Chain A
Amino acid sequence: MSAGLLDVVRRCRGGEPDAWRALLPTFQEIGRRSVRSFRLSAADLDDVLADALTSLYAGGLSQFRGGSTAELVAFLRAVVRNRALDFVKERNRWAPSDALDQMDEAAAAPGGGSAPVDIADDECLAFLQQEVATLERKDRELYLMKARGLKEREIAEQTGRPAGTVASQIARLLERLRERLRARGCL
């Protein structure tokens, strides 16, 4: 599959329409997984993917210099994520919410925000990272997969555990982290 995908990309760069059609489902899947954390609607996701596809077709794909499938998926991920970031920035510019207003106010404050909150956030972030680092490897993976927006079904597929077990393990794990953060004064 790896060599096959790289070959498809090579043919796409050669301008073969069939190669582009063959790449399309893979591109869509990579794109969808890459922007899971953006929580886009289906219509917005379609727009982002269509823009990214157009950019690749217009010459963006020729920028890929890697030689492995992992590098290719990372390249496609970067293209789609950049489009999604542009899209979200553009949307937020014209749709200010209370949360955005609060962010603006914080950013406008001297030093880029309310100093005590920032310091506390940084301290809590460092504490969280430390706590995650002390988890068992399988729990660390669970936490990171959940944090990246994977659904429990997808986590179950990738870890080979039953979906129900995954759900309860994640719930326990997050509760444990919350307790630790609460004890530290972060919650």
Chain B
Amino acid sequence: MDRLDRLTERLIGDLDRHAESPASACVELAVLGERAAGGLTSAAQARVDAHLDECLACLNAFIEVRDLLQGVAAPAPASAGLRRTLDELIGEASSPRVWRRVVDALRRPLVLRVPAWTAAAAAVAGLLLTWATLQTVGRPGGTVESPSVDRLAPANARTERTIAGVVGSVRDATSNGVDAHVVSVTDASGATYVLFAWGWPTVHAGESVEVVGIFTRADQSSGGPVYQGVATALRRTR
């Protein structure tokens, strides 16, 4: 298809659209049909022809009507497929094929067409929403516990605090060649601190220590308050 063909296609499209909303001076379709069938008086025919000489849109409509009326005058026999469709519509209305066509014909104007990927995305979004809802509903109390600011704040933004207490236990926490240990310290108020510290242990159970570190409260259902965190400095006080 070269550019002339494409331009011609557009031109015919424009002319067809014009025929759907013709100008007031344009010739009515029925009159064009009469002109094509040779049913106009000579005066009327002269008027129509004069307009067709001037109006490309009406000439286009006239040519189409003439072509269609030519088909009406000498139609070819209907195809076997079309005859079968009509037979099913007339005589076997309960045939599934006919009903499918009828339903399709009724459904087509109503159906909302969306690409398959859009439907798939909507389905995935629905699943995620359902999952999120179930997660929320499934929590004790039915509410989502909002994380404390303390828990969300990055470690480098937290203020270090210093506590003093007695070492309860020291456990090795070396892993993958990195030396570390976990120290449990209890202060004077009875609060327990479980702290992660790098390197070899420098304190022992029963020693009084001062710990500089970052702490957060650990939930515990019974007993005194428990905190967990990272020790940035750990030194004996005596």
Name A's B-contacting residues (CB within 8 A).
Answer: 1-2, 5, 17, 20-21, 24-30, 32-34, 37, 46, 49-51, 53-55, 57-58, 66-71, 73-74, 77, 86, 93, 121, 124-125, 128-129, 132-133, 137, 140-141, 143-145, 147-148, 150, 154, 157-158, 174, 177-178, 181, 186-187
Could you tell me if A187 and B3 are in contact, using CB atoms closer than 8 angstroms? Answer: yes
A-B contact pairs, 13 of them (CB 8 A): A1-B72, A24-B83, A29-B74, A30-B71, A49-B79, A54-B98, A55-B105, A68-B30, A70-B33, A74-B29, A74-B68, A147-B11, A187-B3
A141 with B101: in contact, given A20-B86, A147-B12 (CB under 8 Å)? no
Query: Complex Cα distance A140/B52, Å?
Result: 10
Could you tell me if B75 and A25 are in contact, using CB atoms closer than 8 angstroms? Answer: yes
Counting chain A CB atoms within 10 Å of each CB, the highest count among B34, B67, B78, B86 belongs to B67
B238 at the interface (CB under 8 A from A): no
Interface residues of B, CB < 8 Å — how many? 56
**B25 proximity list for chain A (CB < 8 A):** none
**B3 proximity list for chain A (CB < 8 A):** 124, 181, 186-187
- Smallest CB separation, A29 vs chain B (Å): 4
Q: Using an 8 Å CB-CB cutoff, how does the interface string of B88-120 with A read, 1 for contact, 0 for none?
A: 011100000010011011101000010100000
A30 with B30: in contact, given A17-B90, A20-B90, A53-B86 (CB under 8 Å)? no
Could you tell me if B11 and A70 are in contact, using CB atoms closer than 8 angstroms? Answer: no
- Chain A: CB-nearest residue to B83: A24
Query: Complex Cα distance A53/B104, Å?
Result: 12
Query: Complex Cα distance A148/B89, Å?
Result: 32
Contact of A70 among B52, B65, B76, B78 (CB under 8 A): B65
Could you tell me if B72 and A178 are in contact, using CB atoms closer than 8 angstroms? Answer: no
A144 with B34: in contact, given A26-B71, A128-B8, A174-B4 (CB under 8 Å)? no
- Chain A: CB-nearest residue to B105: A55
**A74 proximity list for chain B (CB < 8 A):** 29, 65, 68
Q: Using an 8 Å CB-CB cutoff, how does the interface string of B17-51 with A read, 1 for contact, 0 for none?
A: 00000000000011011101100000000000000
Could you tell me if B83 and A137 are in contact, using CB atoms closer than 8 angstroms? Answer: no
Could you tell me if A128 and B11 are in contact, using CB atoms closer than 8 angstroms? Answer: yes
- Chain B: CB-nearest residue to A45: B79
Contact of B4 among A1, A158, A177 (CB under 8 A): A177
Top 8 A-B pairs, shortest CB-CB distance: A70-B33, A29-B71, A25-B75, A29-B75, A68-B30, A73-B68, A24-B78, A50-B85
B218 at the interface (CB under 8 A from A): no
B7 at the interface (CB under 8 A from A): yes
Could you tell me if A148 and B63 are in contact, using CB atoms closer than 8 angstroms? Answer: yes
- Smallest CB separation, A117 vs chain B (Å): 11
- Smallest CB separation, B63 vs chain A (Å): 5
A25 with B4: in contact, given A37-B12, A58-B106, A137-B53 (CB under 8 Å)? no
